[in-house]
Amino acid sequence: MSYPYQIHSIEDYHAAYQKSVETPESFWADIASHFTWHQQWDEVLNWNFYDPKIEWFKGGKLNITENCLDRWVEKQPHTPAIIWESNDPHTPSRTLTYQELFEEVCRFAHVLTQNGAKRGDRICIYMPMVPELAIAVLACARIGAIHSVVFGGFSAQSIADRIQDAQCNLVVTADGAYRGNKTIPLKSVIDEALLTCPSVQKVIVLTRTNTPVSMMKDRDCWWEDEMKKISAQGNLPFKAAIMDAEDMLFILYTSGSTGKPKGVVHTCAGYMVWANYTFVNVFQYKPGQVHFCTADIGWITGHSYIVYGPLSAGATTLMFEGIPTWPDAGRFWEIADKHQVDILYTAPTAIRSLMSFGTEPLQGKKLDSLKTLGTVGEPINEEAWHWYDENIGRKNCPIVDTWWQTETGGVMISNLAGITPSKPSFATLPLPGIQPILVDEKGSLVEGNEVSGNLCIRFPWPGMLRTTFGDHERCRTTYFSTYENLYFTGDGCLRDKDGDYRITGRVDDVLNVSGHRIGTAEVENAINRHTGVVESAVVGYPHDIKGQGMYAYVIFNGIHVNEEQTRKDICETVANIIGAIAKPDKIQFVSGLPKTRSGKIMRRILRKIAEGAVDNLGDTTTLLDPLVVEEIKSNKL
Query: Under the rule (CB under 6 A), what is the footprint of ligand WTA?
Result: 254, 299-301, 376-379, 401-406, 427, 489-491, 503, 505-506, 512, 517
- Least CB distance to ligand WTA at residue 506 (A): 5
- Least CB distance to ligand WTA at residue 295 (A): 8
What DSSP character marks residue 92? P
- Helix and strand numbers (H, E) in the chain are 20, 30
- Least CB distance to ligand WTA at residue 490 (A): 6
Written as one string, the DSSP assignment of 296-354 is: -TTSHHHIIIIIIHHHHTT-EEEEE-S-TTSS-TTHHHHHHHHTT-SEEEE-HHHHHHH
Q: What whole-number distance in Å separates Cα of residue 372 and Cα of residue 285?
A: 9
Which lies closer to ligand WTA via its Cβ, residue 346 or residue 512? 512
Which lies closer to ligand WTA via its Cβ, residue 172 or residue 427? 427
Beta-carbon count within 10 A of 115 CB: 16
Do residues 96 and 175 touch, judged by C-beta distance below 8 A?
A: no
Which lies closer to ligand WTA via its Cβ, residue 405 or residue 566? 405
Which lies closer to ligand WTA via its Cβ, residue 302 or residue 314? 302
- Least CB distance to ligand WTA at residue 249 (A): 17
- Least CB distance to ligand WTA at residue 14 (A): 22
Which lies closer to ligand WTA via its Cβ, residue 308 or residue 404? 404
Which lies closer to ligand WTA via its Cβ, residue 208 or residue 502? 502
Do residues 399 and 374 touch, judged by C-beta distance below 8 A?
A: yes
- Least CB distance to ligand WTA at residue 185 (A): 26
Which lies closer to ligand WTA via its Cβ, residue 512 or residue 525? 512
- Least CB distance to ligand WTA at residue 517 (A): 4
Which lies closer to ligand WTA via its Cβ, residue 209 or residue 489? 489
Do residues 175 and 127 touch, judged by C-beta distance below 8 A?
A: no
What DSSP character marks residue 68? I
575: amino acid identity, one letter: A
Beta-carbon count within 10 A of 95 CB: 15
Q: What whole-number distance in Å separates Cα of residue 297 and Cα of residue 303?
A: 5
Strand pairing category for 243-244 and 510-513: unpaired
- Least CB distance to ligand WTA at residue 421 (A): 16
- Least CB distance to ligand WTA at residue 338 (A): 27
- Least CB distance to ligand WTA at residue 480 (A): 16
Do residues 244 and 61 touch, judged by C-beta distance below 8 A?
A: yes
- Least CB distance to ligand WTA at residue 271 (A): 14
Which lies closer to ligand WTA via its Cβ, residue 454 or residue 566? 454
- Least CB distance to ligand WTA at residue 497 (A): 20
Enumerate the β-bridge partners of residue 331.
none
Which lies closer to ligand WTA via its Cβ, residue 20 or residue 415? 415
Q: Please write down the HEC assignment for all residues of 515-543.
A: CEEEEHHHHHHHHHCCCCEEEEEEEEEEE
Do residues 413 and 404 touch, judged by C-beta distance below 8 A?
A: yes
- Least CB distance to ligand WTA at residue 255 (A): 8
Which lies closer to ligand WTA via its Cβ, residue 379 or residue 462? 379
Which lies closer to ligand WTA via its Cβ, residue 128 or residue 463? 463
Q: Whose CA is closest to 560, among 589, 597, 580?
A: 589
Q: What whole-number distance in Å separates Cα of residue 527 and Cα of residue 533?
A: 7
Helix (H, G, I), strand (E, B), or coil: what is residue 457? strand
Query: Residue with CB nearest ligand WTA?
Result: 406
Which CA distances in Å does 125 have to 147, 173, 250, 530? 7, 6, 11, 29
Which lies closer to ligand WTA via its Cβ, residue 155 or residue 402? 402
- Least CB distance to ligand WTA at residue 37 (A): 28
Q: Which residues of 216-246 are buried (b: 16+ CB within 10 A; e: fewer)?
A: eeeebbebeebbeebeeeeeeebebbebbbb
First CA to last CA distance, the chain:
58
- Least CB distance to ligand WTA at residue 95 (A): 27
Do residues 319 and 85 touch, judged by C-beta distance below 8 A?
A: yes
Q: What sign has the CA pseudo-torsion 53, 56, 61, 66?
A: negative
Bond before 131 cis per omega within 30 degrees: no
Which lies closer to ligand WTA via its Cβ, residue 512 or residue 520? 512
Which lies closer to ligand WTA via its Cβ, residue 65 or residue 349? 349
Beta-carbon count within 10 A of 542 CB: 12
Q: What whole-number distance in Å separates Cα of residue 636 and Cα of residue 610?
A: 7
Give the contacts of 382 (CB within 8 A, at least 6 positions apart): 424, 425
